[in-house]
Structure 1
Amino acid sequence: MSTRSTVVVVTWRGREHIAACLDALARQRPQRTLVVDNASDDGTAAILAAHPSAPEVLRLPRNAGYAGGLAAALPRVDTEFVAWLNDDAAPEDGWLAALEDALDADGAVAATSSVLLADGSTQSVGVRLTADGHGADLVLSGREVFGFCGGAALVRTDALRACGGVPASFFCYYEDTDTAWRLRLAGGRVVSVGPARVRHRHGASTKPGSARFHRWNERNRLVMLVRCAPASVALGQLARFAALTAVLPLRRDRPDAANFRLGLRLRVLAEVLAALPAALVHRVAIGRRAAVSRDAVWREWAGR
């Protein structure tokens, strides 16, 4: 059987889990495995060099994050499909076959996996778009979903390139929801494939709930909306974030969470303002490529 997919595994200090990921990939349908090593300094490089599957390795000179690693790999992909896979995710046998077969049968541009946590509970079977523009994990869904979970998904390579590739500047988080937005604006569909299962050591590389986690999430959501969403939604969410930040010092009932810390929110606003010129340039380019209006995508998927 010919190789139709390149599986891109982005790792950073993945010594504790990268071997399990590669072991699982070795049991899949034939594929090209490309590991992007984000300048790991913990012995990851030696594990990659010694692994019996002999994966191709692209070692970056600095940590470019998950989004940056995927973006660096894309020019090297020459297969029909490209898979995104976290280094702390271990696909079950038949995972890649299920995703490839689903795209063949359905004609969709992307397929998302069933991502399971260590205890067997479901983390994600796709991504939904909330009424205020967040990307949120689905744990139950039908066949079609708004977007894919970037930790374990398969995308048509030509469609990914045509919609603008991977937003490297996001570093990590929301690169998948931003990409799903652009694929949908181009007229593409995303399907959830239940039998394509992976086991995920959630938070092995980044700590959910940490200040960095919230900073990247808040910043990238707002930048994504500027790039992809209807103007009224993007402006409304920017104004809402700024207004909540302004009144935060006056609130006595302020939640004890990192994303309600004034310093973090001010940093997010500063980073969004710095990213705004490039985001607006991208917005124009995304609009010119679009086959479906932003309003139509929002009406169909927001709040579902």
Structure 2
Amino acid sequence: MTVRTTVVVVTWRGRDHVGACLDALARQTRPHRTVVLDNASADGTATVLAAHPLSPKVIRLDRNAGYAGGLAAALPAVDTVYMAWLNDDAAPAPGWLAAMEDALDADERAGAASARLERPDGAVQSVGVGLTPDGHGVDVTGGAVFGFCGGAALLRVSALAEAGGVPGEFFCYYEDTDTSWRLRLGGWRVLSVPAARVTHRHGASTRPGSRPFHRWNERNRLLMLLRCAPAGVALREVVRFALVTALLPVRRALGRPVPDAANFAVGLRLGVLGAVLARLPRTLGQRRAISRRAAVTRTDVWASVLDG
């Protein structure tokens, strides 16, 4: 059979789990190429990759570029119709790739397909990504989706190129939702494929809830909105973020409750605002480029979010 998909596995310090990911890829019922992007791991990951019988093509960076940066670095090595994004702590079932390819084959305007990610206990983690009215990306566990979950997804390479590629500067988090935004602005659909099942050890490489996790999440959500959302929505959310940041010390001084999560630390939020401001000229340039490529207005895409 013709190889139509390149599966890109991005790993960082994945010695303890990337082998299981490759084992699962070796059991796929559809032929594919496997590329592992190693983000300068120094824990023995290279030894695991070299010894694995799947013999993946390995691209090793000299620094950690994150998940988004790793995908962007691997994209030039993809010469197939489809590109799969796969976390190194994910183990897809044997029919995963076949179900994803069949879904995109059946809909020529589908730019991406999102798998069914399950926790090790079988609970559904995600079948795709939804958007809240304030622009947060959230995992959806059933029904229609706005975007794909980047932990295990299949993208049409031509659609990805048309949409402007992978936002490597995001490092990690929201690169999937930003890409889904741009696909939809280009008139592409994003599908959920629950038959494509993947067991996911969520957070094996990063620590959800940590300060870096929240810093990347908050920064990238605002950058995504500034790049993709209607201007009023993007401005509203940046102003809201700044106002909440300014009011947090006041609430504490008045003895009013403040969430204990790291993303409500004033220092972290000021750092996010500084990072967004520093990137603003570049981000606005990216917004103009996205507008030039768009086939659908931002307002229409946002209306589809609000309509559920």
For 2:267, the equivalent position in structure 1 comes to: 263
CA contact under 8 A between 1:129 and 1:303: conserved in structure 2? no
CA contact under 8 A between 1:124 and 1:138: conserved in structure 2? yes
Q: Distance in 1 between matches of 2:56 and 2:94?
A: 18
Provide the secondary structure at the position in 2 that maps to 1:106. Answer: coil
Alignment of 1:8-157 (within 5 A): 8-28=8-28, 29-107=30-108, 108-142=110-144, 145-157=145-157
Q: CA deviation at 1:162?
A: 1.1
Q: Distance in 2 between matches of 1:103 and 1:277?
A: 36
Q: CA deviation at 1:302?
A: 3.5
Q: What's the TM-score, normalizing by structure 1? A: 0.98
Provide the secondary structure at the position in 2 that maps to 1:140. Answer: coil
Q: Distance in 2 between matches of 1:10 and 1:193?
A: 22
Deviations 1:232-258 (CA, angstroms, capped at 9, x unpaired)? 000000000000000110112111110
Q: CA deviation at 1:301?
A: 1.5
Q: Which runs of structure 1 show a deviation greater than 3 angstroms over 4 or more consecutive aligned residues?
A: none
Q: CA deviation at 1:92?
A: 0.5
Provide the secondary structure at the position in 1 that maps to 2:199. Answer: strand
Q: Distance in 1 between matches of 2:297 and 2:225?
A: 14
Q: Distance in 2 between matches of 1:253 and 1:111?
A: 41
Q: Distance in 1 between matches of 2:166 and 2:31?
A: 25
Deviations 1:93-132 (CA, angstroms, capped at 9, x unpaired)? 1000000001111221110000000111010001011100
Deviations 1:185-215 (CA, angstroms, capped at 9, x unpaired)? 0000011011100000011011111111110
Q: Structure 1: any 5+ residue segments left out of the alignment?
A: none
Q: Distance in 2 between matches of 1:98 and 1:279?
A: 36
In structure 2, relative to structure 1, the CA distance for the partners of 1:303 and 1:257 (3 Å cut) is farther
Q: Structure 2: any 5+ residue segments left out of the alignment?
A: none
Q: Distance in 2 between matches of 1:258 and 1:219?
A: 13
For 1:229, the equivalent position in structure 2 comes to: 229
In the comparison of the two structures, how many residue pairs are matched?
302
Q: Distance in 1 between matches of 2:235 and 2:305?
A: 19
Deviations 1:123-165 (CA, angstroms, capped at 9, x unpaired)? 00010111000111001114xx210000000000011011110
Q: Distance in 1 between matches of 2:307 and 2:246?
A: 27
Q: CA deviation at 1:60?
A: 0.4
For 1:300, the equivalent position in structure 2 comes to: 304
Q: What's the TM-score, normalizing by structure 2? A: 0.97
Provide the secondary structure at the position in 1 that maps to 2:83. Answer: strand
Q: Distance in 1 between matches of 2:307 and 2:239?
A: 20
Provide the secondary structure at the position in 1 that maps to 2:302. Answer: helix
RMSD: 0.7
Q: Distance in 2 between matches of 1:109 and 1:279?
A: 24
Provide the secondary structure at the position in 1 that maps to 2:245. Answer: helix
- Structure 1 counterpart of 2:258, from 254, 269, 293: 254
Q: Which amino acid aligns with 1:22?
A: L
